[in-house]
Structure 1
Amino acid sequence: MRLDMNKIIYKVCLTYLLIFSLVPAMVSAKDAARPELKQITLSLSPKDGLSIKSLKLTDGREIIPPSPLPLFSLLLSEKLFSAAGIKPEASREISVTLTSGHPASPGVSSAQELLEFSLEGKIKARLTAKASAYPGLSLVLKLENISPEKVKVENLVPLGEGPDRVYITAGLPNKWPHYLSRTLLYRPGHQPIGVLLPDNAWHLGFCDLEVAPGLNLVALARRDRSEKTEIRRWAATLEPGGFLEYNLYFDIHPADISPFKGLASDLLFPPEPWFDGLRLMFQERYLYDLEKFDNSLYEREDLKWVRKAYLMLLQFAWDHAYYDRQSGRYTFYENLLAWDKLVGGVDIYAIWPTWPRLGLDQRNQWDMYRHLPGGLAELKKQVAYVHQKGKKYFISYNPWDESTRREEHLQAMEGILRELDADGVILDTWGESSREFQAMADRVKPGIIMYSEGMAVPKDMPGIVTGRVHDALYLPPLLNLNKFIKPDNAIFRVIQLGEGRFRREASVAFFNGYGSEINTMRPGRPETIEEDLSHLGRTLKILRENHSAFISPDWIPFYPVLEDGLWANCWPADNKIIFTVFSLKPEGYRGPLIPIREKPGYHFVSLWRHEELKPEKVGDRLYLPAELEAFSRHHLDTRLEGSLDCLAALPEIIKAWRYRDKIAVKLATKPVEGRLVVTPGNPSYQARKAVFPASDLEFSLWEQFQGKGEKVVIQLFSAGGELLDEAVISLPVALPRLVNPVRPTPRAERAPEGMVEIPAGEYLFTTVGNPDDANPVIPYPEKAEGEKILMPRFFMDKYPVTNAQFALFLKKSGYKPKDPTNFLKHWVNGKPPAGQENHPVVWVNLEDAEAYARWAGKRLPTEAEWQYAAQGTDGRQYPWGNELDPTRCNHKTGQTTAVEAHPAGASPFGVEDLVGNVWQLTADVYDNGVYSYVMIKGGSYYAPEASIWYPKSGPLPVNRQQTLLLISPGLDRNATVGFRCVKDAVQK
């Protein structure tokens, strides 16, 4: 008997040697670059149970963990059991060294004695080596129920659970709303957080921990064969005599190697060491579901369009929003675009005319399409309409339809797709597609997508380029590791409108970088739908505009953050990095969060709040600040929990600044067919915006947006709609905006009669407000503090417009104001007062003055033009110099004087009567969203002094500003306000 056992062991070992001699040919280049795990020495001892005693690497190093590592832990009939509790049958230590997946135990007990042990007297366990196409070490743990009762096994974690290691296992209760989303990721020093695993791996166990400085051991457990065992998602119940097998996979990885390249290597800090173990097992090994990933479907150009699709609408054919049976008409056409202003439009429309009506009679699923009102011809018309609007159209397929009228499925599906010119198929009840189905679709036309009801598991992902997070997961975990396994798989989270609020669902999909499927099958359309759709639209806009980042194969789940209870995913692209941030802190958060490095030529922006960010220093690192809104604590564990932020590192392409009411933009690079989008306030699909070609530009805020917005967001997009850069200019509250743009006059070669030439020149334009009122209730336009302006040549009236000139205007033009209240109130019988013909005209309002200017072929001067003409180029305070000289002007005489009465008060350019006689209207009219006013200059003869609350008047410095609030002609006409005109000149 002993001889036979030795023969068996010999044959098994020989088989392992043959298998593993082939493994190096299958090793990836990435794996070949790192030292591999060559041997594990296991020890079964009375003291430490079944544990890993040492590791040996291919570079010759031997690693002895600081303390023995239990081979695994599990829940045995709901009681935590560790391999450290396993005792050898004999009270002595047994050691075995496993090399490349096969046992080699010179000088120790036989393999049978070594690999068999008992768990609590209920389970007989056997450990054997297993061949694998990947590096590392693979074992099979067979658990056999030797008790007379059922035994439940779950939560098997290789290397065991523990506060010093990162591991994944079920942790939430097996009840609603978590009964389909129980798995948690545990990290030292952090609260555990939910993760979503592939449908065939919800039970898996994962562990990663440091075994030596700079070196981590990573392990994965997957269930395999079973007999007489009830398999549930997380638990397996073994009948007496039943067995269950787990495959255990072990490998090592460096703990101090950054996975980043390019821009990411300059800006990012390395993730925590466990991330490389997660990447190794999930992204490189595909959870050992397949030996090689056939990427051919993902590389097809015709199928890549679906990656940029972030919103699908799936609709029953008997939905009132699709067809109104009362009127006998399709409402589809008017409702397809109903949510565009909230969500930016659906990318894919899908019709479902089959289940639950299918099977009431002999008609098959394809007959349901044919018998809709108008038949296939009408559906073809709908598809054409969808295509015209830039969207795609899917049909639905029920593979279980085998009892109705016989019609070969693939052939019928091909016919419907061809007839309608549809773009995809929803595969009901399936979690995968097949080469056969894709080949059928390819015969119809390029680009047809298969979309399964469930998410494909890794072994099926090569056959389908889309995925779906089912609404049966009422509160899906925060992190979807399916997206990590295959980042360019186009995933959609199902949002069931009839189930009420879905704010959290949109947030979690956004956090994971994928889109949503609005499913309208369940009846009920809550009143809050527009509020939640608006939130969904906010996430979709960022997803669509940063698509290149959200399909990055290098994305980092749970990038390190400064505050627990907040999580960040990092999405590096070639020229930008995006961070999606999710918070479960009901109190909210505001402060430094994400470690970052600075790089010349890059800046940081919150794409969620549209604010420029400045990194804050904490210790020896810089951190990007985040701001997460508070929410009610009662919303925890509901679809209203959580809040978002989205931070970005972007290249500094846009240089933008504000000059009073104008925004100037200069671009470092100008993308071909790119565009600049300018939004007053936060961009959204509802927001008003202005779109310009990608070039340098200048525009007036008032002309574009009137009084809206406390910020201006300037975004540069590529021709394909990718966000390249964003600049944010904050606007002061109640910013006065110039609302009266200059309308040039016909240009004159020389000065018309009564005007003087104002030569072109560089002018340092500086203004001041009332020195006794530093904080006026109604803010003045922002002070011009040393702004250099290139003033063009123009002509200005030598004097203010006089009563006589205005009387001539009235006679020649027949002008009559619509509202004559207080119009020329000081005139007598419609004529200027005797002896005041040459005094400045007053009791006119802005519209009266503009009417005169148009009649004269002139216009009112801007404030800068008036002040330049009065001041010259040397910055003097008064037209004649820097000191007030009462002899050179009307100095508070209490009445107007003739305009030519003070020739000594002329400016350097020869303009007279600029200060002290009457306030003079300019063309600069401002609106702050509440009030409108026009700027007046110069002061007047009337200077009340009994109170500080009166406006300062008399002859004022030419850089002094004063507003005239506008409301109606009767109140706007004043005894102290006149005007003069300017005319544009031919430039020399």
Structure 2
Amino acid sequence: MLVKAFADDYDLKFRPHQVEGPASPRDYLDWNARLRKYRLEQKTKKVSHVASAHDVPELQWVQSSYVQPHVMANDLFLFDPETNRYTVDRYVQDVTERYGTIDSIVIWPSFPNLGCDSRNSEDYYRCLPGGTLGIRSLVEEFHARKIKVLFPVIGWDNGTRDPRASWSYILPRLFKEYNIDGMSSEIAYFTQDYWMNSVAIGHPLAFQAQANSENKLGDAPDLDDSLILQWNTMDMAKYDTTTRIPTVALRKFIEPQHMTRSCDKWSRNKTAMIQHSFFNGLGIEMWENIFGTWNQLTPRDAEALRRTTSILRCFGPDFFASAEWEPHCPCVRWETVFSSKFPSRTVEDQIVWTFVNRGPANVTGHQIVVNYHIGIQFYDVWHGVEIQPTDVCDGLATLSFDIEPYGYGCIFATSDVSPLPGNFETLIKTLHHRSRTPLYKIPICSAVLWQELDEIVVTKYTNENICGMVRIEGGAYEFKVKGLSAHPHSKSEYPGVDIKYPWEFQPSRHHATKHMQIKTFYMDAYPVTESQFKKFLDESGYKPADPTNFLKHWCGGCYPASRANKPVTHVSVEDARAYAKWAGKRLPHEWEWQYVAQGGHEYRTYPWGNEWDETKVPEVYSGRERLYPDHPPADVDAFPAGRSCMGVYDLVGNVWQWTDVYRDEHTRAAIIRGGSYYQAKNGQHYFPQAYRNDQHGKYLLMSPSVDRCATIGFRCVKDTEESALSIGNCSFESDECF
């Protein structure tokens, strides 16, 4: 191996939150010396009078939190809508069986529904099933399994209801109330006031920011640039992990106790990400339920994650938070094999090396030359066996073992008289057994979850209860619609986003045109009003199982006097279905709603024509006060010029309207149509409006307490004999869906 003379002016190549490795072993000494000098320069910026969160006893768990999945609060493995209870056992059992132990979890309650009405982030937390006691119980169940819990902070939520105080003041106190362990946010860093508030109230929180090309450490003000790693104890890093030579995680190198986790939520194949994490001694941020879109970890990546993180967890921060970490130790097969050296912080002569093979070929034989003296033992941890050094000479020895294509390796060196790390023998036995199945023999594919309508209702075809309804004559119809979603940001289509119609084979945001035959049916001329819903309650005695937020704007069991003719809101889809059943009707299918809004075969862009006309819809409200009681929707008959040519009113721009509900193994979501009069201020990330007749909104469902919304109402339809024979306009010619 050729090593050139040391040069003090070696030029490091930086990427956002990363530094590129040496091009070859010849550059290693210069590269390593310059990198350590850079770390020393960064550490001198610290101001000593600021307490570091890394030294707080309550936050020591951060350094060993290697696997942290994100989960939606409405995930059907975590919450059962039938019993209205959290199911922590089911969730933990599922992930443990698939990819092993998890150390912490981020639970998302509000996004992507945030902005559909004026509720802000705090309001969504308050709406969760069971209230404060329910959330504390959820957190305690995770804590009983030694899993820490973080809640997200929506950094851009400054356009919904004004909380009247800063989020840095509100959220630490709210999370203390829930006994939450930390915050996670897709921002570059948490400002110091978050940390100081959590310390002041006696509940120090772990703060996790995001490191990517948009969120650069250098974007912080001068003061924060030198301090933020002292209280931002974690970050999820969206690195470019596909380079042949692994990059070095800069935040971890500057502050070894800092927990960085690699994250690549939308990728199908996560091998490069897992390799990058293992090389750097990082954790993994797992996203499978991505705001209602399921992207399951492949079996091969799941097994790789199980093995690599079991190694990280066994050796722990004593090795992987070592200030003596040496990335890119020269390897014999340096073209494709790369290694990092992690000496123990407490035990002399104990070292862990992690290896990754970035190439498509099996690499066998000599791998690395290491320092050696008699009494040192070496273990091939990945294969669970002890190995013997060869070519021992002049205090050096060669270690030989195999690394499969795109595979991993791990060597542990220890003195024969030093105590072994806890659970080391268990780890060796486990990996000896599991490594008998090479990773390349495990499938690396994942399927898109099957979705279906959760309920099909056909009403009795009588002429009763059709007062106030419009007869909609059927006909041939081409149904074409596009789902609106803030994720993913990429312009390319991602399988699994939005919903799957009964005639499709997978969910998609862009739906092909469906040629269908709409059968004649009746539709309410107006959305159901407050007075009509009050009559239903009086005559039926209906009481929801979970009354939280039910008709939240009513007082003393009745709507305000001025709202009799306004569309009823703060009703869940279950409440709406109960009304429809009482009235001998049902909720419309989305294609029925769109057929009416487009004027049948006229295919209008808006109910009144093809050009937007703000005079035909209520005025938009974008203020930061809550919508009730001072900012209600308009009366249902206030804008007659906005009607459809079929004689149906108030379809667009007043309140969203419930239609179909779709369900897969993890998510329930309702399709809502028509948009509303409320638009959150300052927010392109909020729930998007869908005023056009060929657009719809996907509203994630959890529990009626959360689902009830100030801007969602409904209208009903009723079948004729013709549509009833067509299963309520849900029979699609030769494409039988049921």
Give the TM-score taking structure 1 as reference length: 0.38
Structure 1 portions without partners, runs of 5+: 1-65, 70-157, 160-165, 171-178, 191-207, 209-270, 632-641, 654-667, 688-707, 710-988
Q: CA deviation at 1:524?
A: 5.2
Residue 407 (structure 2) pairs with residue 643 (structure 1): yes
CA pair 293-516 structure 1, distance change in 2 beyond 3 A: farther
CA deviations over 1:362-413 (Å, ceiling 9, x no partner): 1111111111222222111101111111111111112322221121223431
Residue 320 (structure 2) pairs with residue 550 (structure 1): yes
CA distance in 2, matches of 1:669, 1:286: 35
CA distance in 1, matches of 2:62, 2:18: 30
CA distance in 2, matches of 1:335, 1:684: 28
CA deviations over 1:290-330 (Å, ceiling 9, x no partner): 68795633222222221011111211223333334466443
Task: Determine the structure 2 residue equivalent to 1:405.
Answer: 161
Q: Choose between structure 1 and 2 for higher RCO, CA contacts under 8 A separated by at least 6 residues.
A: 2
Residue 233 (structure 2) pairs with residue 466 (structure 1): yes
Residue 261 (structure 2) pairs with residue 492 (structure 1): yes
Task: Determine the structure 2 residue equivalent to 1:272.
Answer: 29
Equivalent residue in structure 1 for 2:341, among 550, 553, 570? 570
In structure 2, the residue corresponding to 1:487 is in which secondary structure?
coil
CA pair 618-479 structure 1, distance change in 2 beyond 3 A: farther
CA distance in 2, matches of 1:384, 1:571: 35
Equivalent residue in structure 1 for 2:358, among 572, 584, 595? 584
Q: CA deviation at 1:481?
A: 3.0
In structure 2, the residue corresponding to 1:320 is in which secondary structure?
coil
Q: CA deviation at 1:542?
A: 0.8
CA pair 581-296 structure 1, distance change in 2 beyond 3 A: same
Contact 2:233-2:259 at 8 Å conserved across structures: yes
CA distance in 2, matches of 1:680, 1:276: 34
Amino acid at match of 2:341: C
CA distance in 2, matches of 1:512, 1:564: 17
Q: Which moved more, 1:538-547 or 1:500-509?
A: 500-509
| Aligned ranges 1:307-706 → 2 under 5 Å | 307-325=63-81, 328-407=84-163, 408=165, 409-426=167-184, 428-454=185-211, 457=217, 459-471=226-238, 473=240, 475=242, 477-496=246-265, 499-522=267-290, 525=294, 529-547=298-316, 548-565=318-335, 566-573=337-344, 574-575=347-348, 576-617=350-391, 622-631=396-405, 642-653=406-417, 677=425, 681-683=429-431
Identity %: 21
In structure 2, the residue corresponding to 1:578 is in which secondary structure?
strand
In structure 2, the residue corresponding to 1:683 is in which secondary structure?
helix
Q: CA deviation at 1:452?
A: 1.3
Q: CA deviation at 1:619?
A: 7.7
Amino acid at match of 2:183: V
In structure 1, the residue corresponding to 2:63 is in which secondary structure?
helix
Contact 2:207-2:234 at 8 Å conserved across structures: no
Structure 2 portions without partners, runs of 5+: 218-224, 438-738
CA pair 315-680 structure 1, distance change in 2 beyond 3 A: closer
Contact 1:590-1:625 at 8 Å conserved across structures: no
| Aligned ranges 1:858-897 → 2 under 5 Å | none
In structure 1, the residue corresponding to 2:160 is in which secondary structure?
coil
CA distance in 2, matches of 1:355, 1:535: 30
Amino acid at match of 1:646: C
CA pair 470-675 structure 1, distance change in 2 beyond 3 A: closer
| Aligned ranges 1:278-317 → 2 under 5 Å | 278-281=35-38, 283-286=39-42, 296-317=52-73
CA deviations over 1:620-679 (Å, ceiling 9, x no partner): 674442434343xxxxxxxxxx321111101325xxxxxxxxxxxxxx8799xx778558
Task: Determine the structure 2 residue equivalent to 1:937.
Answer: none
In structure 2, the residue corresponding to 1:647 is in which secondary structure?
strand
Q: CA deviation at 1:557?
A: 1.2
Aligned length: 413
Q: CA deviation at 1:459?
A: 2.5
CA pair 188-284 structure 1, distance change in 2 beyond 3 A: same
CA deviations over 1:216-249 (Å, ceiling 9, x no partner): xxxxxxxxxxxxxxxxxxxxxxxxxxxxxxxxxx
CA pair 678-403 structure 1, distance change in 2 beyond 3 A: closer
Task: Determine the structure 2 residue equivalent to 1:198.
Answer: none
Contact 1:181-1:475 at 8 Å conserved across structures: no
Contact 2:132-2:177 at 8 Å conserved across structures: yes
Amino acid at match of 1:652: D
Amino acid at match of 1:453: Q
Q: CA deviation at 1:449?
A: 0.7
RMSD, matched Cα: 3.7
Amino acid at match of 1:414: P
CA distance in 2, matches of 1:325, 1:390: 26
Task: Determine the structure 1 residue equivalent to 2:611.
Answer: none
In structure 2, the residue corresponding to 1:337 is in which secondary structure?
helix
Contact 2:288-2:296 at 8 Å conserved across structures: no
Amino acid at match of 2:339: A
CA pair 398-569 structure 1, distance change in 2 beyond 3 A: same
CA distance in 1, matches of 2:300, 2:23: 35
Q: CA deviation at 1:554?
A: 0.9
Amino acid at match of 1:423: D
CA distance in 2, matches of 1:599, 1:478: 32
CA distance in 2, matches of 1:584, 1:675: 29
Contact 1:506-1:535 at 8 Å conserved across structures: yes
CA pair 189-309 structure 1, distance change in 2 beyond 3 A: closer
CA deviations over 1:559-614 (Å, ceiling 9, x no partner): 12222222211111124101111222322212222222323332011111112122
In structure 1, the residue corresponding to 2:356 is in which secondary structure?
strand
CA distance in 2, matches of 1:596, 1:434: 43
CA pair 549-620 structure 1, distance change in 2 beyond 3 A: same
Larger Rg: 1
CA deviations over 1:95-121 (Å, ceiling 9, x no partner): xxxxxxxxxxxxxxxxxxxxxxxxxxx
Task: Determine the structure 2 residue equivalent to 1:169.
Answer: 13
CA distance in 1, matches of 2:45, 2:116: 40
| Aligned ranges 1:98-109 → 2 under 5 Å | none
In structure 2, the residue corresponding to 1:500 is in which secondary structure?
coil
In structure 1, the residue corresponding to 2:138 is in which secondary structure?
helix
CA deviations over 1:477-496 (Å, ceiling 9, x no partner): 44323321111111111242
Q: CA deviation at 1:346?
A: 1.2
CA distance in 2, matches of 1:343, 1:439: 36
Amino acid at match of 2:263: V
CA distance in 2, matches of 1:389, 1:362: 36
Q: CA deviation at 1:273?
A: 4.4
Contact 2:169-2:194 at 8 Å conserved across structures: no
CA distance in 2, matches of 1:325, 1:343: 26
CA distance in 2, matches of 1:181, 1:435: 20
